[in-house]
Amino acid sequence: MLRSLFSGVSGLQSHQVAMDVESNNVANVNTTGFKYSRANFSDLLAQTKSIATAPQGDVGGKNAVQVGLGSTISSMTRIFSQGSVQNSDKNTDVAIQGDGFFIVSPDGGSTYKYTRAGDFKFDAGGNFVDNNGFIVQGWLRDSQTGKVDSTAPITNINIPPGLTTPAQPSKEVVLKANLNSGPRIKSMSHAYEINTNSTGLTPSIDQNGNPIAAGDLGVMYNEIGEAFSLQNGQGVWGSFVSSNHEGTAIAAGSTLDIVLTLDDGVTTVAISDAGGGTAAENANAFVAKINAQKGTTGVRASLNGLNLVLTNDNGSATASHNIRMSDGGTDNSGLTMGNYVTAYKYTYDSASPTILANGDKKFTTIADLREALQIQARAIDVNGDLAFDNNIEISVNEQGKIEVINPGGSADAYDINLKMTAFSATGTTENTRFTRNMEALNSVLPAGTAGKAYSQTFNAATHSSSIDLFDSLGSKHTLRMVFRKTALDTSTGSTWSMAVTVPEPATIDTVAPTFEKTGSVRFNNDGSLASYNPPNISFTGNNGSAPDQQVNLRFGTSNGFDGMTSFDKESATSGISQDGFTGGDLVGIRIDQSGTLVGSFSNGRSFGLAQIGMSKFTNNEGLTVEGGNVFIQTANSGDPIIGTAATAGRGYIRSSALEASNVDLSRALTQLIIIQRGFQANGKTITTSDQLLQTLIGLKN
């Protein structure tokens, strides 16, 4: 009987402890980061009245006869399940989603405590503290590297009040852009060399003040952005003298005896007629003889009264165009020998552009073409013979147009009758867009006239990007990069020139113009970047800032598509950045998922100032509670494994949020009922045992 009394007493004691535990859970239902506990019951050592026996022969075995001696609380289990995360309006509140603990220290890092309660704030000294005043542990930004090194030992997180950041000079510029490789473009500039200075884009000029024509015509475009795409051998026929040549009147005794030298300068066609008829009969016979060879020479004969008129209008692509006449020996048809019926052929030869006074002209660039036209114009006199004493000027103006001026005033001045016509030959097709641009020159310019002849505009594909650089004082300087398509190789890809400029008085080069550094960008035939130069610039602000500031240009990796590309799509800059900034004051702090305290400064920059450290344990339940929402390490918890959030099994951090207690009131209140009933039942055991004892005592009476 006494055993039952003691069993009841132990039951009461156990349930009393369980009630204490559950009451503590309910009391902390609103405690941030609280983890509820559970009391674990176990039975006490039983009294054995008889031991178990094994089966013997025909008699079966018997179980032990034991009487229990009650219950006890053998252990307490803390349940580290995730509490709900509740958003808050405080940007320094943080919650852990997953496993792990924040680390705080009451003594400057000598000892550590651990908490799930992320209700942190900054004190007057800039320390990042919890509600106990314990300083949160983590890593600080290294002022030399500008990085937060999470592999270093943890320390107190402290961000001084009124923090400022000094200016950081730019060290690199990263550009990601596409330069259009297609047959139609929108971004283009005129065909002259470009100077860029503080006043903007201007044409480079020669010693006479004239714009300098530049650029490979094969990769140029007309005024509506259509590519010429000149192929080897394509070009135009051109003439500066009239293709109509009129002789004097043909008489009855006239004879025709002329030799026409064809385009190659070697082949000749002799045309003769003995005459013998009347003046009219001779004239008609001469016309017939000349026209019989028109398919070869391109020269057409007609009559103006009795005057013989020769015309080569370049109307036949298969006939000759560059015709020179000479006397066969007995000619008295009235024609003046030695003049040109028409002028020269211009063809493209990428290997060896040549410019000759006689014969075909071969050009690669618009500068070659301009020079060839001027040499041809100045190589002719009033009779169409070779001469070099006239003042005809041919240039490429700042609108990218070929411009012809005939000022006269020289011994060999002549009236220009300018005619450009399409060129085609066996194996060479006409380039209609190039022809159309050149045909605009067709006009008559008498010597001494104030008029001018213009071609249509020649344009180069261009693209530009700009970004502000910062010097060591934090001053801004605009860096401008202008790209211009200059060459195309069908087997290897395209080449673009590059001009990098800064506003004066800043400099980036040691040779004039010092505000500009030129180079090139080359692309492979799949549009990937092949190479670029220069890879960096040496910037000097000339304003008191540190000189020779090295700025790396990052345009991408060779054979890659991670930077600059050249595809058939509109030229555009998709990304441009640099790493410099001016000085600024701290205006705000936010915390990201890795626990990094990111400072926002008045200069528009944001970077990590510190990072919150986190720890995890092999056995979270081995930690012991020390008031104020903190745990301390024990021998059974294992050592803390310290690192950053969201790594090695540690949870990630949510800012402007707190983790609520994981106490479930419905479970806790139900548990209270169960404990209450258990306590009542154990009390009933004691009263029942008491009644039995009363009965026994009554037997004596």
Output the domain CATH number for residue 270. Answer: 2.60.40.4390
Please state, in angstroms and rounded to a whole number, the distance separating the CA atoms of residues 92 and 79: 27
Given 393, 426, 457, the domain boundary residue is: 457
Q: What are 613's two structure tokens? A: 């450290």
Given 296, 314, 342, the domain boundary residue is: 342
Say yes or no: 272 and 284 in one domain.
yes
Say yes or no: 386 and 351 in one domain.
yes
Q: What are 346's two structure tokens? A: 């211009």
pLDDT of 638 above 90: yes
pLDDT of 352 above 60: no
Burial (CB count <10 Å: 0-12, 13-18, 19+), residue 452: middle
**Mean pLDDT on 354-366:** 65
Q: Render pLDDT for 255-297 as a digit per residue (tens, 0 to 9).
A: 999 998 887 778 899 999 998 899 999 999 999 999 999 999 9
The CATH number of whichever domain residue 566 belongs to comes to: 2.60.98
Q: Render pLDDT for 161-189 as a digit per residue (tens, 0 to 9).
A: 989 999 999 999 999 999 999 888 887 77
Per the structure, how many domains does the chain have?
5
Please state, in angstroms and rounded to a whole number, the distance separating the CA atoms of residues 273 and 271: 7
Q: What is the pLDDT of residue 207?
A: 43
Average pLDDT of the chain to the nearest whole number: 88
In sequence order, the β-bridge partners of residue 601 are 586
Say yes or no: 329 and 440 in one domain.
no
Say yes or no: 374 and 235 in one domain.
yes
Specify if 664 maps to a domain: no
Specify if 666 maps to a domain: no
Specify if 665 maps to a domain: no
Specify if 338 maps to a domain: yes
> CA angle, 368 as apex, 365 and 373 as ends, to 5°?
130
- Quickly list H helices, 121-255: none
DSSP helix/strand/coil, 289: helix
Q: Render pLDDT for 86-125 as a digit per residue (tens, 0 to 9).
A: 999 999 999 999 999 999 999 999 999 999 999 999 999 9
Specify if 482 maps to a domain: yes
Please state, in angstroms and rounded to a whole number, the distance separating the CA atoms of residues 527 and 525: 5
Distance of CA 22 to the CA centre of its chain: 61
* Residues of the chain by 3-state class (helix, strand, coil), percent to 5: 15, 40, 45
- Quickly list H helices, 28-125: none
Q: What are 308's two structure tokens? A: 């013989």
Q: What is the pLDDT of residue 208?
A: 47
Choose among 236, 285, 296: nearest CA to 260. 296
Q: Report the 10 Å Cβ neighbour count for 697.
A: 9
Q: What is the pLDDT of residue 387?
A: 62
Q: What are 254's two structure tokens? A: 């006239």
Say yes or no: 358 and 420 in one domain.
yes
Could you tell me whether strands 324-327 and 256-261 are parallel, antiparallel, or unpaired per DSSP bridges?
A: antiparallel
Return the DSSP state at 281: H
Query: Which phi and psi (to 5°) does residue 204 adopt?
Result: -70, 150
Say yes or no: 485 and 573 in one domain.
yes
Choose among 176, 178, 175, 179: nearest CA to 461. 179
**Mean pLDDT on 24-35:** 95
Burial (CB count <10 Å: 0-12, 13-18, 19+), residue 544: exposed
Say yes or no: 229 and 354 in one domain.
yes
Host domain of residue 209: 172-184+193-216+459-578
Say yes or no: 235 and 355 in one domain.
yes
Specify if 667 maps to a domain: no
> CA angle, 590 as apex, 585 and 593 as ends, to 5°?
145
Choose among 183, 216, 193, 220: nearest CA to 437. 220
pLDDT of 613 above 90: yes
Q: What is the pLDDT of residue 196?
A: 44
Say yes or no: 528 and 434 in one domain.
no
Those residues whose C-beta lies under 8 Å from the C-beta of residue 221, and which sit 6 or more positions away, are 185, 188, 227, 228, 458, 459, 460, 461
Choose among 675, 545, 619, 701: nearest CA to 71. 675
Helix (H) or strand (E) holding 676: helix 665-700
Q: What are 290's two structure tokens? A: 């000349």
Whether the model clears a pTM of 0.85, i.e. scores above it, the answer is no
Say yes or no: 76 and 89 in one domain.
no
Lowest pLDDT segment from 155-164, 253-262, 619-628: 253-262
Torsion of CA 568, 572, 577, 578, to 10 degrees: 90
Say yes or no: 333 and 375 in one domain.
no
Specify if 549 maps to a domain: yes
pLDDT of 402 above 60: yes
DSSP helix/strand/coil, 219: helix
DSSP helix/strand/coil, 671: helix
Specify if 668 maps to a domain: no
Choose among 428, 232, 255, 264: nearest CA to 334. 255
Those residues whose C-beta lies under 8 Å from the C-beta of residue 207, and which sit 6 or more positions away, are none
Please state, in angstroms and rounded to a whole number, the distance separating the CA atoms of residues 374 and 406: 11
Please state, in angstroms and rounded to a whole number, the distance separating the CA atoms of residues 578 and 168: 11
Say yes or no: 396 and 419 in one domain.
yes
If pLDDT is split at 50, 70 and 90, which confidence band does 341 have? low
Given 308, 342, 376, the domain boundary residue is: 342
